[in-house]
Structure 1
Amino acid sequence: MNFSGSYLFKEKIDEVWSNLNDPEILKASIHGCKEFTEKEKNIFFLKIQVKIGPVNATFSGELKIKETNPPLSYIIEASANAGQLGGGSGVVEIRLKEKDSSTNLIYEATTKINGKIAQLGARLIEGTVKKNTALFFNNFENLLDKKKLSSDEEIILKNKVKENGAALNNFNKKYLYFSFVIIILFIVIIIVGYE
Structure 2
Amino acid sequence: MTASRVLAAEATRLAGLAWVPWLLAATAAAAVVTAVVLALLARPAGGAPAGQVVTAGHPVLGLGLLALGALVGAGDFTTGAATTTYAAVPRRLPVLGAQAVLTAVAALLTGSTAVVGAVVATTGDLVAPGVAATPGALAADGAGLVLHVTGLALLAIGAGALLRRPAPPSSCRPSSSWSSTRCWRPARAR
Query: Which structure is higher in strand share?
Result: 1
User: Same fold judged by TM-score > 0.5?
Assistant: no
Larger relative CO (CA 8 A, sep 6+): 1 or 2?
A: 2
The alignment's TM-score, normalised by the length of structure 2, stands at: 0.33
Higher radius of gyration, 1 or 2:
1
The alignment's TM-score, normalised by the length of structure 1, stands at: 0.33
Query: Which structure is higher in helix share?
Result: 2
